[in-house]
């Protein structure tokens, strides 16, 4: 691995390791995007970032989304931080079995999830990267839609549905709209 990439990962590791947010400086957008590209390309230092993002291991509970919100908070609320958070989330999910991935998604619309809209932020990237069975996603998207309630302007939900329909070419999408 190049020395420059190693130093970029070091900067992100340091940001994720900070115990206090007060007075913290965030990695630059260029750094965050470079690390996100390295993760997407199978960068070797991603395991260290996963340990920092998921200190108790990749959880198949609501903690999965809590950990990703923690990552974004530590990296700064920017599009670059969001992109890196999405890559870490997708990489973490890819390491789970299919049953574990479905379990993670089951928690998203759960009442235990006190930050549904925050959790939805990473959903389009997860749906794009990982193929979930239509038999699971159709009722699940309806369940999320019910949990969203009257806030139908929730863009991340609609982006996720669009990504799923376009990327995975599911026949059952019309069935979804009939039930929604």
Retrieve residue 105's tokens. Answer: 């998604």
pLDDT tens-digit map of 47-79: 888 988 999 999 998 899 999 988 988 888 889
Tally of domains in the chain: 1
Enclosing domain of residue 147:
3-179
Distance CA 126, CA 124 (A): 6
Is 43's pLDDT higher than 60?
yes
Mean pLDDT of the chain: 84
Determine the pLDDT at residue 1.
46
Residues 4-13: contacts with CB under 8 Å, at least 24 apart: 5/34, 5/38, 5/43, 5/45, 6/45, 8/34, 8/35, 8/38, 9/35, 9/38, 9/43, 9/45, 9/48, 9/49, 12/49, 12/75, 12/84, 13/48, 13/49, 13/52
Determine the pLDDT at residue 98.
94
Q: For the residues 136-157, what does the mean pLDDT come to?
A: 87
Determine the pLDDT at residue 112.
80
Is 124's pLDDT higher than 60?
yes
pLDDT tens-digit map of 103-121: 999 988 988 888 888 889 9
Determine the pLDDT at residue 141.
92
Number of H helices, E strands in the chain: 11, 0
What are the DSSP E strand ranges found in 32-155? Answer: none
Coil/strand/helix, residue 42: coil
């Amino acid at each position: 691995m190049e020395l420059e990439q190693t130093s970029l990962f070091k900067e992100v590791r340091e940001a994720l390791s900070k115990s206090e947010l007060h007075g913290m400086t965030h990695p630059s957008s260029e750094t965050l995007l470079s690390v996100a590209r390295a993760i997407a390309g199978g960068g070797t230092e991603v395991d260290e970032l996963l340990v920092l993002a998921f200190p108790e291991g990749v959880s198949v509970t609501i903690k999965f989304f809590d950990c990703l919100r923690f990552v974004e908070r530590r990296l700064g609320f920017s599009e670059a931080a969001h992109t890196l958070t999405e890559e870490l989330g997708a990489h973490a999910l890819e390491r789970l079995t299919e049953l574990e991935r479905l379990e993670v998604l089951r928690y998203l619309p759960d009442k235990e999830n006190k930050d549904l809209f925050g959790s939805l932020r990473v959903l389009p990237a997860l749906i794009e990267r990982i193929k979930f069975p239509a038999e699971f996603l159709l009722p699940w998207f309806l369940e999320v839609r019910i949990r969203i309630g009257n806030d139908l302007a929730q863009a991340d939900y609609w982006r996720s549905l669009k990504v799923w329909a376009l990327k995975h070419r599911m026949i059952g999408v019309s069935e979804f709209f009939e039930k929604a």
